[in-house]
Copies of this chain bind each other. A is one copy, B any other.
Amino acid sequence: MASRMIRVMATALAGLAMVAAATGPAFAEDGYRLWLRQQAPVPAPDRIAVTAPSPKLALARAELARALPATVASVTLARSDDPRVVHLRLPTRSLGDEGYLVRTVTLDGAATILVTGHSDRAILYGSFALLRHLATGGAASGIALSSTPRVKLRVLDHWDNLDGSVERGYAGASLWDWWTLPDFRDPRYTDYARANASIGINGTVLNNVNAKADSLTAPYIAKAATLADVFRPWGIKVYLSARFSAPIELGGLKTADPRDPAVAAWWRSKADEIYRAIPDFGGFLVKANSEGQPGPRDYNATHADGANMLARAVAPHGGVVMWRAFVYADTDPEDRAKQAYTEFRPLDGSFDDNVLVQVKNGPIDFQPREPFHPLFGAMPKTPLMPEFQITREYLGFATHLAYLGPLFTEVLDAQTGRRPDQTVADVIDGRADHHALSGMAGVANIGRDRDWSGSTFNQANWYAFGRLAWDPGLSARDIAREWALQTFDARAADTVVAMMMPSREAVVDYTGPLGLAHLMGTSAHYGPAPWVSDLQRPEWNPVYYHRADRQGIGFDRTASGSDAIAQYAPSLARRYADPQTTPLDELLWFHHLPWTYALSTGRTLWDEMVHRYDAGVAAVAVMAREWDTLKPVVDAERWQKTATFLQIQQREAQWWRDASLAYWMSINGLPLPVGVTPPAQDLAWFQARHVPYAPGNPG
């Protein structure tokens, strides 16, 4: 007995010593471990039984061994068709391919926590769910968890370039080291896949939608294949962004016309080549006829022609095409917010079964707030895949704290008005229209920074996207709490959640309240520049969006203006037609109103704007104070980084507020409400301010 105890102790010590020896002094806690920080006091693989070994179950077992608290004595991983599981008559019927069931049961006369599902992948998800349950305060006894993903393709879009830069990336260089691939398998690739699997993400588009044809050459296919090999055990498929003109650039053809048989044949052959290297290749993501990218419209073919041609190339292999609806023409005088709907709505019903149309959450471009995209609900015959931006191109990059859960759920929970009680989430899960496919895409905020996302709190946006892609019905607050409990000491969780929940609204307030949008600096998309009016294309200019003049401000999208509201369901269009029934948060998105317009808040429009700018700045100060209180319970390195970033955010929120107010006052000639602090500098000072070398803006 004593010798056994000594052996156990010795093993524990050896384990600890090994870990200790491998640890550098400076990085006590550097954020690398994300939300997967729980660690078993002593790893005990013996507590986890696997009935039918497989690579995925070996991973699940290792995860449990690594993190299972001592309160759990036994876990059993078994497929639902295991005779002993069948015998238990558990409700596994509706789990699908990926759903899991985790339940305390008696097996062979002993209590165990059974993790089961119809596939090993499901059991891997169930194992992560069990660990999440335990790490977020769930009891170790009487466990009964079950969940099936509502969305099939839960995909990260990496805007990573082949030269290692990341468009709109604020977390360092691309995670993919194309130069040393396919030879070198950076252990970080595995950790990336593991983190994604832990939140249910099952696909990744490796390269930027602004794609180079090179990514479809044999050397780059081999590189992608290596990543696919690393990701496969974690249930993650690889996709590639495809450059529509690749048949010309790589194939030497004279055209990329999707109706040209030689073009279709080139793509079929290319798809065959890819599938030989990556048998479970997910398919293509395409940005066509958008911001200079080539596409079928170059040949007077439709987006459906283009998408279907590609879809037929991958269909024999089970692949899909994710075709972006983010289009606006440089020659089209129509309200930019209307153009995607105008172009795509008539195509409903003309896409092949393995095409998803990828629609940005709002009609413009990932602004801090936009109404949901009018295509949601308007193309019932087409699987629509929302595209969220996890990286914060327009919300302060990695340095500002903005939890996007509320932005995501605001869109997902929005009523489309197309069917009774139909939300955007109901549209995209595809069940109402019996779509075989469904999907949700998030533009990744991941890079080679040690903490993956450029800040600790940015990890929450990656986490929230994954959890919502699995279940678009989750609440942003619940997710925040889940994340906080796994990422910080439990004593920090309440305050962390309190900081997170209003944080995105703060950014809205200090950058563009009341439905204003697209007021940021040119190219870098950082800092205030509502005055910019000299860019080549009208819709690139902030003045195009706010339309402020001496009398008023806002974009009239009612029938008297661009009539964009007519793209929404009639009930919504009616509500948006009247400023009185339009939500305040979207007011100036839909209406041009006098500065003196009286709002339901009791303030004039101008006074309310000023009030909200100040509220945004004040909210950052509150966050900073809240974070200060956490110093005793958060490890020093992560605490300091967030504290510093909050200082930056405080200064820059003030910059946004001051510059914006100075500009609006130069337009409307109105005084500030009594007691409001004037901008610290004059307008010219703000206009002269230049912030060079912003990250995320390559080329």
Contact = CB atoms under 8 A, between A and B. Distances in A.
Contact of A16 (B17, B185, B187, B194): B17
Specify how many copies of this chain sit in the oligomer.
2
Interface string A545-575: 0000000000000000000000000000000
Given A22-B28, A22-B635, A191-B26, A648 B180 contact: yes
Given A172-B448, A183-B648, A648-B180, A26 B399 contact: no
Contacts of A27: 22, 32, 187
Given A448-B448, A648-B180, A695-B179, A23 B23 contact: yes
A25 B34 CA distance: 12
Contacts of A188: 26, 450
Which residue among A24, A25, A185, A644 has the maximum number of chain B CB atoms within 10 Å of its CB? Answer: A24
A448 B18 CA distance: 26
A266 interface: no
Nearest to A9: B13
Interface string A508-522: 000000000000000
Contact of A183 (B163, B644, B694, B695): B644
Contact of A164 (B162, B179, B695): B695
Nearest to A62: B25
A110 interface: no
B66 A25 contact: yes
Interface in A9-62: 13, 15-30, 32-33, 39
A41 to B, nearest CB: 8
A383 to B, nearest CB: 34
A190 B635 contact: no
Given A172-B448, A187-B637, A179 B694 contact: yes
Nearest to A647: B183
A173 interface: yes
Contacts of A25: 33, 66
Interface residues of A, number: 56
Contact of A29 (B22, B28, B397): B22
A653 B39 CA distance: 45
Contacts of A635: 22
Given A26-B190, A164-B695, A448 B179 contact: no
Interface string A174-193: 00001110011101101100
A308 B163 CA distance: 40
A464 to B, nearest CB: 22
Contacts of A179: 397, 399, 693-695
Interface string A680-697: 000000000000111100
Nearest to A41: B17
A183 B449 CA distance: 17
Contacts of A163: 693, 695
Most buried by B among A18, A23, A162: A23
Contacts of A66: 25
Nearest to A39: B21
Contacts of A15: 20
Interface string A271-298: 0000000000000000000000000000
A214 interface: yes
Contact of A172 (B13, B173, B648): B173
B214 A692 contact: yes
Contacts of A648: 180, 183-184
Contacts of A695: 163-164, 179
Contact of A19 (B23, B164, B187): B23
A645 B644 CA distance: 38
A641 interface: yes
A165 B187 CA distance: 23
Contacts of A399: 179-180
Contacts of A180: 399, 644-645, 648
A452 to B, nearest CB: 11
A276 to B, nearest CB: 22
Contacts of A21: 39
A54 to B, nearest CB: 21
Interface in A650-699: 692-695
Contacts of A162: 692-693
11 contacts: A20-B20, A21-B39, A22-B28, A24-B191, A25-B66, A162-B692, A165-B165, A179-B694, A179-B695, A188-B450, A448-B449
Interface of A: 13, 15-30, 32-33, 39, 66, 162-165, 172-173, 178-180, 183-185, 187-188, 190-191, 194, 214, 397, 399, 448-450, 635, 637, 640-641, 644-645, 647-648, 692-695
Closest 4 CB pairs of A and B: A16-B16, A19-B20, A24-B33, A162-B693
Given A22-B28, A162-B693, 6 more contacts: A19-B19, A19-B20, A164-B693, A165-B165, A180-B645, A185-B640
